Structure 1
C-alpha cells in the first residue's frame, strides 16, 4: 500500500516563514558612525551619495565605487569619480539635485558638511552615515564599516588590511629615528597648521618628527609667521593650492635664519596624499618619512 509523501501545507508555510525571517536577518546591515549613532539598512546600499572628496575615496576603497550616484566638488580620485554627478560643494549642498538622485545611503563629513543640511536629509528620511577618521586605524575601520553598509566586505576588508600592514611596516622602519622638529603648513592665507591630535600629526610622529605646534589646543590652529620663526623648525612641509603648486614654500625662503631654510629642508608633499583621510595617506606618510630622512642627512 503506497503512502502519501506530500508535505502538509502547514509545514510548508512554516518553512517559508522561517526562510523569510532568516533571509531578512541576513539582509539587514548595521554600522556605527563617528557620531556614535548606529545606522541599520534593510539591505546593502546600492545608491550612495558621498558628501566630501575624502568620503568619495573611502567608498571606492571599500569596493563600492560602482554604487556611487552623487559626489561633491573636487572629488577627483579615483578618476572614475569625476564622471559622477556633483551635488555642490561639501560646504553647501544642492539639496534638490541630491534628492533627485535618490540615494539610499548618504556619507556625510562630521565637521565639514553644513549641520543644518545634514539634519534636513535625516528629517526627510535619508539614511545618513557620518564619518571623520582621525587616526590611521580609524581610516581602516571606516573602510570596513562602509563596506558592510554597501555589501562589499570582501574588497573593503582586503583594502583595510593592506593599509594597516603598510602603516605598520612604516612604523617599524622609523620607530627609532632621531626626532626632527617639523612645521606642517596646511594653509597659506590665513597661515594654518595642525596639532598632535590631527591625523597629520600622527603621520609626523610615525616618521620620527616632532610637531612644533603639536601642543596647541585647536585641531587646525591659525598662527603667524613670527610663531614659525620663533619655533625654528628643522623641516617645513607644505602642500599648496593643487598637486603641483609649490608656491607656499616660497615665503620661507625670505627667512634665511630658519634652520629649515638654511639647510634646504623646505619640502613639498601633494596635499591629496596628506589632507584626505584615505588609503592614499600611506603614500603620503612614506613621502613624509623620506623628507625627514633627507633632513637628518643634512645635519
Structure 2
C-alpha cells in the first residue's frame, strides 16, 4: 500500500485491487490501482468570518447571560469543531439554531413567566444555559462531525444531511416549546389527546400552534441545507425529520419524563437547567410520566435518533 500526499489538505491511499475484464494494467501481475480519498477538514484560520461570528456570539451570550461561563466554553469548542467540518452548513446550522432559539425565547417573555413555576422557588422562564444544555442540543452534530473528521468512510453529503436533520429537530423542538406554550388553546397530551387538556409546560403536551412553529423551525434549517446541497428531495427529508423530531420529543416527554405540579397553584414545576425536578412532600406531586430521563436526556436522545435517521436516509454523492 502506497501513500501519496500531494498537499496537507488531501491524502490519497492507493489500494491494490484484482484486475477485472478490460482493466488489466500489467499483463504479468494483472493489478490496477484504485484511489481511496480520506476526509478533509477546513483549517480554522482560513475561516475568518466564522471565527468572527463565533466571537460575537460568545460575547453576546456572556453579556446577556444566555449561557453560564462553562456553557460558553462548551459552545466555543462546539463552534470550533463545526467550523472544522468541510461544509459551511454545520457551522451555519449551529448559528441559525442559536438565533431561532434566542428570538423564540424573547417572544411573549413576560407571559411565559406566569405559566409555569421554577424548582428553585421562583417563576418559570429562561435561565442561563449550562454545558449540559448546550451539548444536549448540539451533541449529536458534534458526534457526526468528529466521526467524519477522524474515521471517514462516507460521503460528505451523508454527514451533512445527518447534521442538518439533527439541527432541524432541535430547532423544531425549541420553537414548538417556546411558542406553543403561548397558544390560546390549552395543550393536550400527545399519547392521549382524548383525555382533554393538560397544564401548559406538561411534558408530552402539544398544541397546534406549537407543532406549526416547530415545522417552521425545521423548514428554516432545511432551506439552509438546500442552499448547500441543492437537492429539494434531501431538503424535504430534513423538514420531515425535523417535524418527526419534535413529535418524538413529546412522546419521550410523555413516557420517560415526569411532570411535577405545584399543589397550591397547579402550575407545572420546571427543573433548573433541564435537571430532574425534585418532589417536595406536601408542596408538589408527580402528575404523570416515568422518572427515566430529564429534559436534557430527552433532547439529546431525540436529536441523536433523528440525526442517525438522516445519516441512514441521505443520498450519497
Q: Which has the higher contact order (CA 8 A, sep 6+)?
A: 2
TM-score by length of 1: 0.25
Structure having the larger proportion of residues in helix: 2
TM-score by length of 2: 0.24
Largest Rg, 1 or 2: 1
